[in-house]
């Protein structure tokens, strides 16, 4: 996922925690410098749920085309 609005390590931690709250997300790796969050999932996860979780945490996000 491409995440906008992260400016510090704490932001990356908040993004990771928000994504892990979405059912089906097993692991997250958030790269502050690139603005990307990589996810490992164990079930079907709706893109809308991931985006909503980050918006509720105060960030903008979109699922990358290559992940679809």
The model's pLDDT over 22-63, given as tens digits with 9 standing for 90+, comes to 999 999 999 999 999 999 999 889 999 999 999 999 999 998
Band of residue 67 on the pLDDT scale cut at 50, 70, 90: low
Domain membership of residue 12 (yes or no) is yes
Q: How many domains does the chain have?
A: 1
Per-residue model confidence (pLDDT) at position 64: 81
Position 65 scores a pLDDT of 72
What's the rounded Cα separation, in Å, for the pair 24 and 2?
19
Q: Is residue 34 part of a domain?
A: yes
Half-sphere exposure of 53 (CA within 13 A, CB side): 21
Does the pTM exceed 0.85? Answer: yes
CATH of the domain at 21: 3.30.70.100
Does some domain include residue 66? no
Containing structural domain, residue 52: 2-59
Q: Please give the pLDDT value at position 10.
A: 97
Instruction: Tell me the C-alpha to C-alpha distance, in Å, between residue 9 and each of 17, 22, 47, 65.
Output: 13, 21, 24, 26
């Amino acid at each position: 996922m491409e995440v906008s609005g992260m400016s510090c390590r704490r932001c990356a931690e908040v993004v990771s925690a928000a994504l892990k709250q979405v059912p089906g997300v097993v692991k997250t790796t958030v790269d502050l410098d690139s603005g990307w969050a990589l996810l490992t999932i164990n079930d079907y996860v709706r893109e809308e749920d991931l985006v909503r979780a980050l918006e509720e945490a105060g960030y903008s996000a979109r699922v990358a085309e290559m992940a679809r």
